[in-house]
Structures are given as C-alpha cells and as structure tokens.
Structure 1
Amino acid sequence: MANDWFETVLEAQRRAKKRLPPSVYSALLAGSERGSTYDDNLRAFGELGFAPHVAGNTSQHDLSTSVMGQQISMPVIISPTGVQAVHPDGEVAVARAAAARGTAMGLSSFASKPVEDVVAANPQTFFQMYWMGDRDTMAQRMDRARTAGCVGLIATLDWSFSHGRDWGSPSIPDKVDVKTMLTFAPEVLRRPRWLLDFARSGQLPDLTTPNIPVDAQPAPTFFGAYGEWMGTPPPSWDDVAWMAKEWGGPFMLKGLSRVDDAHRARDAGVTAVSVSNHGGNNIDGTPAAIRMLPSVVDAIGEDVEVVMDGGIRRGSDVVKAVALGARAVMIGRAYLWGLAANGQAGVENVLDVLRGGIDSALLGLGKTDIGDLRRDDVLVPDGFLRVLGDVPA
C-alpha cells in the first residue's frame, strides 16, 4: 500500500518504535554503557562533507560492486544480527528482501531461522559465527553452513560482553512461556498490530537459536547460546588462522579497529575485514568506524577487501564510506527497523532509500560509477580520523 512507504531510514525507525513493544524496540537500540560510541557512529558521518558539481554530470550511474566473490547491485549488504523477533518471518523475510534488491545476506549463528531456509531465500548468504565451543563443534557448524550453500563465512570477534547501559538495558526473556507472556502482557497489548502479526502466523516470538546445535541436539535459547560464547576463552590469532583455513573459502573477520590487528588478520589468511565497533556494543569509547576506516584501508586494502559497519542511515553515508576506501558497508539496525515497520517490504524499502541516496550523491559528485569515488570527493575536517595501533614489527 502506498501509505506503507517511507522515505527515510529515520521514518522506518519511528514506525518501528510505534509498532514494537518497548522492550523489543529498546533491544534494537543497544549501545553499551553511556552510548558514546553509538552516538559517535552517527555523529561522525555528519562531520564529513561533499563538494558537488553543478554541470556536466550524468544521470546514469553504476552502483554495482562485489564482496567476497559475490556480485551485488550496490555497496550495501545485510549485517548479521541475532534473533529477529521483531517480525514472524524474521531472517527469511530479510533474506528475500536482500535477494529482491540484488544484494547479499549476512546470517547470524544466533538467528531465529535455520540456515537452510535462509539460503533458500537468498543464495548469496554469508554465515556468521562467534568463537564459541571447541574446534570440533565449530567445524561442524561450518560444515552445516557449507552444506546449506553459504558462500562465505563471517567471524565476529568485537564484542567484549559489556551489556550495561546508563539508560537501562531492556528486559529480554530467556523463552516465551506462560510466565513471560503474563509479565510482558501490559506492554504487548499496547502494540496490537505487532501481536496480530504473530497471531496470524500461528507462532510466538522464537527466542531459540536453531543454527547453534550439532549432532541433533535441541536448539538452545539465545541466552543459552550467549552463555556458551561467554564461557569460551577468547581466540588467538592462530585460532583465527585455523578458522579461515577450516572454512576454505571467502572469510571475513568482523570487528577490526586497529592497524596492527589488520596486519595480523591479513597474515592469518582472511579475505575480507569489516571495520566495526559492533554498532556501539564493544568497549564504549571506541571511535566511530568511519573514523578508523582509512587507516585500515591504507594498511591492508591492497591485499584484503575492507568493508565497514556502524552508523549507516543514508545513501550519502554509504558514498562517504566508499570514497574513504570501503568496498561496501553492512547495515544492521536500519533493516531491522524496516522489518519491524513492514516486514519484507519494509526491508526492501530501506534498501531502496539507501540506493536512492547513493544515486543522488553520485549525481551531485559527477560520478558515473561507484568505483570512481576517491577520498578527495569527501571533505574530511582536521582531527576527524583516528589511527589505532602501530604497524607490527
């Protein structure tokens, strides 16, 4: 319906807030401690500028590129996010939307839909894993993803388990049972459309993680999987190298911020990295990803594909990131708000909004191809960039 269309990602966020129970919406905002990094992810893009041309521009623009061997229609891919209980179709709806718009899907190992269903909806699916459990268990999870048809692996290593928030963390249940339904009934009943979506689907919000179990074990709840992750000692660089070799294909390490870590990632055999602070969920006070991007590109960009995630809300944000060296960007909250606002169509809407903004920025900059963007297309103020870490000896 025409009135379901929204013209900005911020409007999708407004509609998501209006549609979702407060606890569910609050979980999407995330951001650790005082939220300084979350805020900087957004603020930093506003500090960058453009110098547009007014004549001699062309109205035809090629936005296509490739990431980890996958041709995509524009430099935007779906970042993996856990249990998408904002809509009954969850990750399957997101995968279909991404496929409809010609881009790749990142599927979290903490997702609420099986990897087989998601790959069926979008063959360009990258499976995401944390370092959790022993190597045999992780190898079995990789085997399942490979057998399902996943075309790449994303290893997320940038969460320090800081979940306290100065403005209050949402109350997230371990599972949806009678006690949970009674506890959350007052806020859920104030959001009847969200409740009706699940009633029509014949299912309750699913807080289990079907991609975690191996050997026909039952799927753990989100917090059960989270507990396994927290209980696993952090990986070494040898572990990263093992993971890349065990997968044996396109392999992205997500969460880089330091130049020395970038060099070690390249030496460990990764084929791509994402400069990221986990959307503000790693150590609060980490700089915005866009501030750290150029230093990582300079360090390893000739050998490894570099993408970034964190703070993307507009097509012009995408153009700024690509001009500063990113192959593409990954979006998270933006598509979740679209999913909450209008299901698969809402995610497609978000992708269309971003595409339109990219196209408009290329027009103003006088570029015909996304690959023509250069750093001097962006005005970078003094003191904007951050270089973390030194080049290892």
Structure 2
Amino acid sequence: MANFKLTNPWARNPWFETVAEAQRRAKQRLPKSVYLSLVAGTQGGITVNDNVDAFSEIGFAPHVVGAQDERDMSTSVMGVDLSFPVMISPTGVQAVDKDGEVAVARAAAARGTAMGLSSFASHPIEEVTAVNDKIFFQIYWLGTKEEILARAERAREAGAKGLIVTTDWVFNIGRDWGSPEIPEKMDLKALIRLAPEVAVKPRYAWDWFNKGNLTIPDLTAPNVSHGKGLPGPTFFGAYGEWMNTPSPTWEDLEWLREQWGGPFMVKGITRIDDAKRAVDIGATAISVSNHGGNNLDGTPATIRLLGPIADAVGKDVDVLLDGGIRRGSDVAKAVALGAKAVMVGRAYLWGLAANGQAGVENVLDLLRMGLDGVLMGTGHKSVHDLSRDDLILPEGFERSYGG
C-alpha cells in the first residue's frame, strides 16, 4: 500500500519583504480574537499609533560619497553580546504558534541576539534557556516578595542572564473599538465558542494539528507557579493576582535588585526623574517604554522621549527603546538618539504568526538589512557611530518631562 502524506494546502513562498507583509499574513491566518490581541492598545489607541507614526517624522541626512565596505552592527546589553542592536521584548502567552516562545528563542539564537521571556509565557523558562543562552527573565510585581524572589531564583538556576522588571501598565482600560475576549482556559466550552472564528481560518487549525495529534493552545503561565514543579495558574489567574498585588515602590525595586545581584533592567521609563531613580537604585539598564501603547493612553511615543532621557542617564545605564519598531531605519533612529539597542514586540509576533520560527528570523533579517542600509547611506563603519548629526528632527519633535 502506498504511503499517504498530507501536505499543507496553504503553503506559499515563506519569505516576506516587510514587517507590514508579516502583519498582513498574520491577520489572514489568525482567528479574529487572536489577531486583535496582537494589535490592541488602550482607550483610543493614541499612544500605540504615535509609537509607530512618530518615526516617520524623523529624516536622515545622508552622505553621497564615502560608504564603508564593512559595517559592524554588534553591541551589548547588560553585558550580553548582541550581533546587532535588536532584541526580543517579553510578551505574554503566544498562542499564535504551537512552539511559542521556544520558536522565538531559537530564532533569536540563530540571529545572535537576546530574548526577554515574559513571566506570562506559555513555555517554562527551562525550555527556553535550553535553546538560547541569552535570555533575560521578565518579572511583574506579582504575589509576595518571597514568591517574586523564588521566581527570580528559578530563572537564575535556568541560566537567565538578567532580570527585566516591568512597571509600565494600567489595568482595566479597554480600547474604544473593543478589546478581544480571550478565554480563561481552552476547555471544550471555549473551543465550541471559538469554533466559528477558527472555521474561517482553516490554516490556523491545520497548523495546530500535527501528525494526528491536536495540540490545544496553552493559556497557562508555568513561570508563575507557586513552587518548583507545581503547575502554573491560568493566564487570567496570574493576571488577577498581579492586579491585586500592591504596586512596587522604588525601595521594593532596590530590594529586588540587591537580592538578584546581577544585570537588572527597569522597563517602563518615560520620565527623566524616573530614569534617574533607576540609576540611584543600581539598575544596569532601563527601557524607555509605554508597554507598546498598553499603558496610559496619551503618553507620547517612546522615540519622542528617548533623546532627553538618554542625554540624562545614558552614561550611567544601558538605555533601550521599546515601542513602534517596524523597520531597520527605526532601529537606526533610536540608536542615533542614544539607545544602546531596541526591543521589538508586535513585529516578531507577526513574524511568528506568519511563519513560525522562520518568520521571526525573517523579521530580524529585515531589521538588520534596513539598519545596514542606513549605515551605508550615512557613511559609518559601526552602529556606534550613529548620532543626532545623521538625523533631521523637526522642531518640537522631542518631549521631555520630569527633568
């Protein structure tokens, strides 16, 4: 009897030329609720849109002669070497691909860069560090101090190179056009309710069906378990506990930094005075971030805030930018304004949704190529040579407060 092998009827040329094309393919493949979870912001979406649009207001001042034949894009963040100044920003449960964070970690490793792993990830940190030795573990201030420290110690044992403490979030603020309804867990009731969405996105269902075994998306948070070896809570169980944990003070963050004793990033900085407080508590790095537009709506785009913050503390800590990166030229603009590197979120998630690990690698390649083009056009040998002199900044572009 001849062997019979199913082939994917939705197979196509896997390479995409732009991050926008990755987003289009992600929207085409994913059920509506899943896709909307990748693009949602808070309230009117003012900040999430400005994060992206602000980059288009910055121009370049290129040189027409003197392009360098060899261009070096390597850098480091919190003592970890990166092949170019782009790393993966931590994002929660990644039900856009069955391999989730493990696929992303493999892609980052293949391109020589680091990954921030969310506490709300769908795969245990041990599985992620097994495929990429450049992992920073992201922590929410969730639970007791003892529980927070236990999660940090678990990350240390797994090989995490540093901690990222996320502070930029406002709870219970939905977007004007409505936030997607995500089930508490993927049980039979949830599968029945979501069936109409999945039915019109057959490729998504196909990709979760592997060699006769249906793999149901995992909506638990194994890295927030209340003891080593114990199962993690559901995503919303962990989220609820986070909502009901009192917010940390600067003294709390300093305590955690001291207990951790290694590279330590404070994510969510948008004010100069907060940046200086992060320096005072001994942080190794800060991320100028508004949680991708999921913080307080009306907060300016992070690229508008980056320069003044980098000018104030860039000699004391590694300054990163998170928010709105869609092209390699965006990376170049951020570096020119003082960022050591950028963190990307939605862009790599669209790549993951479009083509799994290869799609994430595709996105990273696009960012690298775009950055290399800027170095060529500005006549620089190294990414570290980029500066404000390479940019055309419109009057009033930058925002500065808390100084």
SS in 2 for 1:23: helix
Matches within 5 A, 1:119-134: 119-134=129-144
Is the CA contact (8 Å cut-off) linking 1:130 and 1:157 kept in structure 2?
yes
In the superposition, the TM-score normalised over structure 2's length comes to 0.95
Structure 2 partner of 1:87: 97
Structure 1 partner of 2:357: 344
- 2:209 pairs with 1:199: yes
Alignment match of 2:199 (pick from 171, 180, 189): 189
C-alpha distance in structure 1 between counterparts of 2:145 and 2:181, whole Å: 33
In the superposition, the TM-score normalised over structure 1's length comes to 0.98
**Deviating more after overlay: 238-247 vs 328-337:** 238-247
**Aligned-pair CA distance for 1:30:** 1.7
Is the CA contact (8 Å cut-off) linking 1:162 and 1:282 kept in structure 2?
no
Listed one character per residue, the Cα deviations across residues 237-274 of structure 1 (whole Å, up to 9, x for unaligned) are: 10010111111100000000001111111101110000
**Aligned-pair CA distance for 1:2:** 7.7
C-alpha distance in structure 1 between counterparts of 2:56 and 2:172, whole Å: 27
Structure 2 partner of 1:39: 49
Alignment match of 2:339 (pick from 297, 312, 326): 326
**Aligned-pair CA distance for 1:299:** 1.4
Structure 1 partner of 2:145: 135
**Aligned-pair CA distance for 1:156:** 0.3
Structure 2 partner of 1:378: 391
Structure 1 portions without partners, runs of 5+? none
**Deviating more after overlay: 50-59 vs 267-276:** 50-59
Alignment match of 1:212 (pick from 224, 228, 232): 224
Is the CA contact (8 Å cut-off) linking 1:131 and 1:232 kept in structure 2?
yes
- 2:319 pairs with 1:309: no
Matches within 5 A, 1:1-393: 3-200=13-210, 202-215=214-227, 216-390=229-403
**Aligned-pair CA distance for 1:298:** 1.4
SS in 2 for 1:54: coil
SS in 1 for 2:146: helix
Is the CA contact (8 Å cut-off) linking 1:162 and 1:281 kept in structure 2?
no
**Aligned-pair CA distance for 1:128:** 0.2
SS in 1 for 2:224: coil
C-alpha distance in structure 1 between counterparts of 2:76 and 2:54, whole Å: 26
C-alpha distance in structure 2 between counterparts of 1:70 and 1:264, whole Å: 23
C-alpha distance in structure 2 between counterparts of 1:154 and 1:202, whole Å: 34
TM-align CA RMSD: 1.0
**Aligned-pair CA distance for 1:219:** 1.1
Is the CA contact (8 Å cut-off) linking 1:70 and 1:124 kept in structure 2?
yes
Is the CA contact (8 Å cut-off) linking 1:271 and 1:304 kept in structure 2?
yes
Structure 2 portions without partners, runs of 5+? 1-10
C-alpha distance in structure 2 between counterparts of 1:111 and 1:286, whole Å: 26
**Aligned-pair CA distance for 1:217:** 3.4
Runs of 4+ in 1 over 6 A off after TM superposition: none
C-alpha distance in structure 1 between counterparts of 2:164 and 2:40, whole Å: 21
C-alpha distance in structure 1 between counterparts of 2:231 and 2:269, whole Å: 33
SS in 2 for 1:3: coil
What is the one-letter code of the residue matched to 1:126?
F
Is the CA contact (8 Å cut-off) linking 2:61 and 2:389 kept in structure 1?
no
C-alpha distance in structure 1 between counterparts of 2:318 and 2:66, whole Å: 32
SS in 2 for 1:181: helix
Listed one character per residue, the Cα deviations across residues 27-53 of structure 1 (whole Å, up to 9, x for unaligned) are: 000210000001100111000000111
**Aligned-pair CA distance for 1:163:** 3.2
SS in 2 for 1:204: coil
**Aligned-pair CA distance for 1:338:** 0.2
**Aligned-pair CA distance for 1:58:** 1.4
Listed one character per residue, the Cα deviations across residues 197-232 of structure 1 (whole Å, up to 9, x for unaligned) are: 111164101000000013243311110000010000
